[in-house]
Structure 1
Amino acid sequence: MKEELKRLREYLMTGVSYMIPIVVIGGVLIAFSIMLSGVKAGQGAVVDNDFLKKLMQIGSDAFSLMVPVLAGFIAYGIADRPGIAPGLVAGVLANDVKAGFLGGIIGGLLAGYIARWIKSWKIPKSLRPIMPIFIIPLLTSITVGLLMLYVLGGPISALMTSMTGGLKSMSSGSAVLLALIMGAMIAFDMGGPVNKVAFMFGSAMIQENIFTVMGPVAVAICVPPLAMGIASLVAPKKYSKTEQEAGKGAIAMGLIGITEGAIPFAAGDPLRVIPSIMVGSSIGAAIAALLKVGDHAPHGGPIVLPVVDNPLGFIVSVLVGIAITVLMVNLLKKPVSATEEVEEDSEGM
């Protein structure tokens, strides 16, 4: 069992190592564009300059590759080259069904294991040359694609609808409880469907001139990337060299309110990272609710401070959320082994 879990982590880290440059390119360019443009009350991040728009487009297009690359190279780690193409297909479909990076992980694992299984088939010698370039990718892509569309897509859509209804029914109750739940939702899949439900609900409340719902959401948005970036600086021995580099980009993304900056850490170690960022984000959001922090822009992170009610309360909430996440995740994580570092170095050569 331990050996299987170790191999699973290796597959995830293979996907993460290839995904991180995509996250950095996309996140930093988007962050740079927003930082120079700023945010406006009621509108969020508005990029008007033509050059910054082009940078924003490059960053957004790069970001759209994040989940396919993650899924593709998870599958590659499992099945070698025949797994790459079906893994990429699974990642694109995860984007299409709005399944986020968690959907990408599921798709990548499915593609990898199915491709590896097909590789084990006993076939005539005459067909062997076309197995890795035709038969394995085609059969795997069809199988994984149908699973992603029919099995994953429907439940996610139904889940989003039910979660939105649940948040609406809670909006007239305890503000702190609502903030706790929304904070956890924001951190759970970092830009995925659960995150989007909470974000869109907070944004909708701005249209109703209720700003104290988006305030806690804006706090929760930036806690995961800022906390994971700081955690990798505070305890570098618990993070690979690739993750340490990703941590610097995560801090930059967190300042601009891009939760996806924490995805490389969550994808590589979901069982420790996701609970930690959920706890930190939910507590940070709850403190923001207690302090009546309001946000007039559908965006998050310190960049929204000019349009925030009670900016000091916002800063305190973010700092508490970061501190809790850093403490929790670094207590849970174990030091990176020398073997993992050697494998990572060999991949980069």
Structure 2
Amino acid sequence: MAKFSMNKKEKSMGTEVKTAIMTGVSYMLPLIIAGAVIMGIARIGASFYGIDNIWDGSHAEAANAVVRLFHAFDGFGGLALSLMLPVVAGYIAFSIADKPGIAPGMVAGLLAKEMGTGFLGALAAGFIAGYIVKLLVTKVKLPKSVASAGPIFIIPVGGTLLACLVMMYIIGDPLAAMNRGLENWLLGMSDGNKIVLAAVVGGMVGFDLGGPINKAAVTTAMAMLASGIYDPNTAAQVAIIIPPIGIGVATLIWKQRFPHSLQDAGKASTLMGLIGVSEGAIPFALANPKIIVVNVIGSAVGSALAVGLGAVNRAPISGFYGWLAVENWLVYVLAIAVGSGIIAVGSLLVFKGEELPKKQEEAKPKFKITRAQ
């Protein structure tokens, strides 16, 4: 009989988890930077033509060739960002289980994206796929005649299938139920104190940066626009951009406080914040989850300040190109600045100049076939 074995130095669970997350982040960063810059070119360029929704499909048929080109650019950037969650999940699984973990991790990460579970779901997908593949590699025993099929057939097929089943039937349903519950809760708060509601919406949006909690707040806020209720939308649109701008500004002012690998991500984060994409702050949340607390505080304060001082955003637009259309736009911009400043200063409590753990060859599992005696 032949079985798969892993030749790997033992590490503590905490070290393995941290190394896996950092590996996923390092492979994800080029996608974020590429997507952010390309989308920034498109949206800033379109703003000179008075267009604040260049992503809308109608611009693909615009009479102006430059507008059509900017629309295409925005699509290219969005395509790069759409790979973010599958890639981070795939390379988390890779860190845990080497090359056999990539396919199951990426497919499970793509499923997490399709289910709307955000980067928390992608993290779960990567770890689930990685440890499932690791278990298969160490436990599956095959006859010598078919042992060579393990790495190219049994592991990728079995690992992908099992990881997706866990994501769909164990992880996905609870997150979906939580999402519905949060939406109902926010709807129930709409008749209460508008400042408290704004702070709650802002904190939720800043928590998981495009994940289910963020989506519940943004979706509910946008739904209320149809009823002429604008405060939740104002809070949400402010909070969307505060974390990426705040963290990005911090990397520019206190560059030495951040790991070298995240300094370029800070530039992309600032740009993504200005064009209304909160995912620019995700690498920092993955690198050190403590920043999530700072994000929530900064987003909540900025949102409450905007609503409390009378700013009103009647459109689901968070990027800078829509700021001048906001009622009391000076207050709106001030609220963004205050919230971003809180996050920029608060990040100094989280990032203290420590380098991220480097990927080392011995940290990667090596696979070989051993013969049972």
TM-score normalised according to structure 2 size: 0.85
Identify the range of structure 1 (205-214 vs 104-113) with the bigger mean alpha-carbon deviation.
205-214
Matched, 1:249 2:249: no
Distance (Å, rounded) in 1 between the aligned partners of 2:227 and 2:131? 48
List per-residue Cα deviations over 1:161-210 (Å, max 9, x = no partner).
21111111111101111111111111112112221221122222333333
From 220, 239, 252, give the equivalent of 2:258. Answer: 239
1:102 has 2:111 as partner = no
Residue 71 of structure 1 is matched in structure 2 by: 89
- Alpha-carbon distance in structure 2 between the residues aligned to 1:125 and 1:238: 53
Q: Tell me the residue number matched to 1:116.
A: 134
- After superposition, the Cα gap between the structure-2 partners of 1:342 and 1:84, relative to the gap in structure 1 and judged at 3 Å, is closer
> C-alpha separation between the residues in 2 aligned to 1:40 and 1:296?
21
Take 1:342 and 1:8, find their aligned partners in 2: how far apart are those partners?
A: 13
Identical amino acids, percent of aligned pairs: 36
Write out aligned runs for 1:9-48 (5 A).
Answer: 9-38=18-47, 45-47=53-55, 48=59
Q: In the aligned structure 2, how far is the partner of 1:51 from the partner of 1:257? A: 20
2:229 alignment partner, one of 200, 203, 210 = 210
Note the alpha carbon deviations across 1:109-164, whole angstroms, 9 max, x for none: 11111111211124444443222221111111111111111112222222222111
Tell me the alpha carbon deviations over residues 278-297 of structure 1, each in whole angstroms, 9 at most, x when there is no partner.
11111111111211111122
Superposition deviation, residue 342 in structure 1:
8.0
Deviation of 1:261 (Å): 0.7
CA distance 1:316–1:343, shift in 2 (3 Å): farther
1:6-27 C-alpha deviation (Å, 9 max, x unpaired)? 2211110100111111112222
Partner in structure 1 of residue 182 of structure 2: 163
| Counterpart-to-counterpart distance in 2, 1:38 and 1:205 | 27
**AA aligned opposite 1:51:** L
- Higher mean C-alpha displacement, 124-133 vs 80-89: 124-133
Larger radius of gyration: 2
- Report Cα offsets for 1:58-113 as digits up to 9, x if no partner: 12222211100000000001111010000001111101211111100000011111
Equivalent in the alignment of 2:350: 332
Once residues 36 and 173 of structure 1 are traced to their aligned partners in structure 2, the CA distance between those partners, rounded to angstroms, is 41
What is the rounded CA distance, in whole Å, between the counterparts of 1:229 and 1:316 in structure 2?
Answer: 17
Q: Is the 8 A contact 1:226 1:254 kept in 2?
A: yes
Q: 1:247-270: per-residue Cα shift (whole Å, max 9, x none)?
A: 101101111111011111112222
The CA RMSD measured in Å over matched residues stands at 2.4
Give the whole-Å Cα distance in 2 for the aligned partners of 1:244 and 1:127.
Answer: 48
Say how many residue pairs are matched.
Answer: 341
CA contact (8 A) 2:52 2:321 kept: no
**Matched residue SS, 2:316:** coil
Instruction: Find the partner of 2:296 among 278, 302, 308.
Output: 278
2:71 paired with 1:53: yes
Instruction: Say if 1:12 and 1:74, in contact at 8 Å, map to a contact too.
Output: yes
The answer to whether the Cα contact below 8 Å between 1:206 and 1:296 also exists between their aligned partners in 2 is yes
1:229 Cα deviation from its structure 2 partner = 1.1
The equivalent of 2:339 in structure 1 is 321
Q: Is the 1:39–1:46 Cα contact (8 Å) retained in structure 2?
A: no
Between the aligned partners of 2:170 and 2:142, the Cα distance in structure 1 is 30
User: SS at 2:231's partner residue?
Assistant: coil
**TM-score (norm: length of structure 1):** 0.91
Alignment of structure 1 residues 172-251 onto 2, 5 Å: 172-251=191-270
Query: What's the counterpart of residue 260 of structure 1?
Result: 279
Q: Whose helix fraction is larger, Structure 1's or Structure 2's?
A: 1
Q: Secondary structure at the match of 1:309?
A: coil
